[in-house]
Structure formats: C-alpha cells, structure tokens
Chains A and B, each alone.
Chain A
Amino acid sequence: GAVVSQHPSRVICKSGTSVKIECRSLDFQATTMFWYRQFPKQSLMLMATSNEGSKATYEQGVEKDKFLINHASLTLSTLTVTSAHPEDSSFYICSARGGNGEKLFFGSGTQLSVL
C-alpha cells in the first residue's frame, strides 16, 4: 500500500528556534498534502492544505508566516515552525493524497516539544 514518510518523529528545541518537518510520499505522487496539529487527547485539526507548485491554503486562525509550508515537488512537502514557542508544542501529522484523489495516507507524525 501507499506509504507516507514523516521526519523527524520527535524533536525537542529551544524557544525561538525554527523547526522543519518533512513529509514524503514514497511510492506515489501526491498532488495534495495536508498538515494537521493534534494536542494531547484531542482530535486532529487541519492547519493547511498544500498543492504542488502553489501556495498553501491555511485554515482560519493558523498563522501562515509562522507555519511555512512548501510543496515544491510531487513527493515532498515541508512544514517549518518558525520561532517556535512552548505553545507550539504539539503532535504534527501530514497526509498525502494521490492523483486519483480517493484515499488519504498519513505520516506517522512528529512530536514537537519546545522548551
């Protein structure tokens, strides 16, 4: 089956630093990728949708200058949390949808802890 690889799985950083999370579709071309954030014991909340080669569409309340998304190729999207603060600590999950548009495959998530 289709595989989405997300890296790193865990990152601990100091407040004020930037963190980049990668999401790769390993055996299919992902025309659309989604980024979610999940706080402990809560549901996944969609942050943004990115289409290859175009600007990401952010959900209301998500700061586009803080959460930079790049989807430069059909197999890679990155989320950069700029100037991270403790309140940004969360579980970030990406998902990718292939050309047929029917199924969504999820990465294994990145646990971000900002000290």
Chain B
Amino acid sequence: GQQLNQSPQSMFIQEGEDVSMNCTSSSIFNTWLWYKQEPGEGPVLLIALYKAGELTSNGRLTAQFGITRKDSFLNISASIPSDVGIYFCAGQGANNLFFGTGTRLTVIP
C-alpha cells in the first residue's frame, strides 16, 4: 500500500516546548488526518482537514492542509508529559486511508 513520508521520525523535547511535524505525499489527497497512538491501542483522531489551505485547531494542536493537497503539518504548543506517543498523519483518498511513517514524541518533564 501507499505510504506517506513523515518527519521527524522521533523527537525528544522539554515540557513546555512547541512541536512541529510534517507529512508529504507524492499523491493528492482529499482529506488529511492526524492521529495519536499509544502503546497497544488503536489510533485516536486528533484533527481532520477537508480543504486545501485549511488551518484547524484543537486545543493546543494546530494542523494545516497544504495548498498542493500533498502535504500537511501538525503543531503542538506548550507540550505536556501526556503528549507522549506516536503521531501519524493519514491521507484519505476515494476509498482508502494511508498512514504516514509516524513521529515518536517524548516529552521530558
């Protein structure tokens, strides 16, 4: 299946710092999604983006759908210890959802 390129692969940050991660694809997607996954659990949806150029916030999280529809970024402001986990972007085409390679976030108190 198709895979999206996500960077960085991992991040170690101090509590309170801001975080930024991005996702790129060679294909155009109609919808971009950002998920968080904790060990042994399925992904949980954080933000969904439906329109090119859209900028959406959910609390301390902000995500944007790139103009070209081939990329997206996620920002987390003022990180806290419970932000630790793996963050995945996902692109939704006509009937499929393809995931990025993931960004493993570690927050140091």
Contact = CB atoms under 8 A, between A and B. Distances in A.
Interface string B77-109: 000000000001000100111111110100000
Given A43-B88, A46-B1, A59-B1, A108 B97 contact: no
Contact of B96 (A49, A60, A102, A108): A49
Contacts of A93: 42-43
A44 B96 contact: no
B92 to A, nearest CB: 8
A3 B38 CA distance: 17
Interface in B39-60: 40-45, 48
B6 to A, nearest CB: 8
Dominant secondary structure of chain B at its interface with chain A: strand
B3 interface: yes
Nearest to A111: B40
A46 B96 contact: yes
Interface residues of A, number: 28
B62 to A, nearest CB: 20
A104 interface: yes
A104 B90 CA distance: 11
B98 A46 contact: yes
B44 A106 contact: yes
A106 B33 CA distance: 13
Contacts of B35: 106
Interface in A65-115: 91, 93, 95, 102-109, 111
B70 to A, nearest CB: 18
B95 A32 contact: yes
B42 A107 contact: yes
Given A6-B42, A45-B1, A46-B1, 10 more contacts: A42-B102, A43-B102, A45-B99, A46-B96, A47-B1, A60-B1, A91-B40, A103-B45, A104-B97, A107-B42
6 contacts: A4-B42, A32-B95, A42-B102, A95-B42, A104-B45, A105-B45
Interface of B: 1, 3, 33, 35, 40-45, 48, 88, 92, 95-102, 104
